[in-house]
Amino acid sequence: MTRGLTCCLGLLVSWGATIAAGAQVTPGVVNDSKILDGYVGRYQVLSNFILVITREGDHLMVESTNVAKFEVFPRGDKQFFSKAGGIGVTFKTDAQGRATGLTLHQAGTDLLAPRIEGRPEDRPAAEASPPKARKAIAIDPKLFDACCAGQYQLSPDFVLKIFREANRFFGQGGTQPKYEIFAESRTDYFLKEEDIQITFELDARGRATGVVIHQFGLNQHGKRID
């Protein structure tokens, strides 16, 4: 896995394992090769994770760093799926049928990925508008322990652990490496390596009952389970 996937906090949960899992869905057919040609390109899922869509004859292929190339099959002209797992791709196109971006579907989560080559209007919005500058503040470690430290269920098979080491705060999903998180407020935290924010939902006593992961305009909710 790339560092970008690790920092994704489970939004692309166990990509490689999902590809190997196996799912039975009956494919459709796209007869027009021009439609497939319109999808060929590179799509930015994370700041350092890119999906590459290629065509081999009438077959549409997906590949990325450290993930072997695999075929996706049509459900319609714009919707495709992997036979080998619960991964789906929906393309967004312009009036000429050329893809300007795609949505990656997995584990009940949708990730938006703009096309990153070609015309200026197809470039990632981040190129035109840099991520908001965020400033870390000091949080009392005891307050963090009482409020936020715990385990949160982001998907049926993915738990996010939030914990503290001395005066530093961390998140860790499953068996992934831990990553440091920084406080913007009592309830809002962020990662410095990725444009990802974490918001803790509190009860009347000030204890977190859930968490929301903010990324690419998506909000992934997780319920506290400890």
Point out which residues pair with 83 in neighbouring strands.
none
Q: Would the CA dihedral through 144, 146, 151, 152 be positive or negative?
A: negative
Residues 92 and 24 in one domain: yes
- The burial class, CB within 10 Å (0-12 / 13-18 / 19+), for 1 is middle
Residues 154 and 94 in one domain: no
Res 85: pLDDT: 55
Residues 40 and 120 in one domain: yes
Res 29: pLDDT: 55
Its domain, for residue 123, covers 3-128
Instruction: Give the number of other CB atoms < 10 A from CB of residue 221.
Output: 13
In a domain, 189, yes or no: yes
Res 167: pLDDT: 95
Residues 13 and 117 in one domain: yes
Residues 105 and 179 in one domain: no
Q: Mark which of 72, 93, 128 sits at the end of a domain.
A: 128
- CATH code, domain with 100: 2.40.128.50
Taking alpha carbons only, the member of 153, 157, 171 closest to residue 220 is 153
The residue written with tokens 């389970």 in the block is 225
Residues 6+ apart with CB under 8 A from 106: 12, 13, 15, 18, 86, 87, 88
Residues 11 and 106 in one domain: yes
CA distance 147 to 95: 49
Residues 19 and 97 in one domain: yes
Residues 188 and 113 in one domain: no
The three-state DSSP-derived secondary structure of 108-167 is CEEEEEEECCCCHHHCCHHHHCCCCCCCCCCCCHHHHHHHCCEEEEEECCEEEEEEEECC
Residues 81 and 174 in one domain: no
Residues 118 and 167 in one domain: no
In a domain, 133, yes or no: no
CA distance 169 to 68: 34
* Largest separation between any pair of C-alpha atoms in the chain: 62
In a domain, 135, yes or no: no
Q: Mark which of 128, 159, 181 sits at the end of a domain.
A: 128
In a domain, 211, yes or no: yes
Number of domains in the chain: 2
In a domain, 112, yes or no: yes
In a domain, 109, yes or no: yes
Res 198: pLDDT: 95
Q: Mark which of 98, 128, 158 sits at the end of a domain.
A: 128
Res 102: pLDDT: 94
CA distance 118 to 130: 20
Residues 159 and 202 in one domain: yes
Taking alpha carbons only, the member of 97, 96, 63, 64 closest to residue 78 is 97
CA distance 141 to 137: 12
Residues 217 and 166 in one domain: yes
In a domain, 52, yes or no: yes
Per residue of the chain (226 residues), give pLDDT as tens. 334 434 455 544 444 444 444 444 444 556 578 899 999 999 988 766 788 999 998 899 988 765 678 888 898 889 998 875 567 899 999 999 899 999 988 766 778 889 987 544 444 444 445 567 899 999 999 999 999 999 999 877 789 999 999 999 999 987 778 889 999 999 999 998 777 899 999 999 999 999 998 865 667 889 999 9
The residue written with tokens 């009482």 in the block is 146
In a domain, 136, yes or no: no
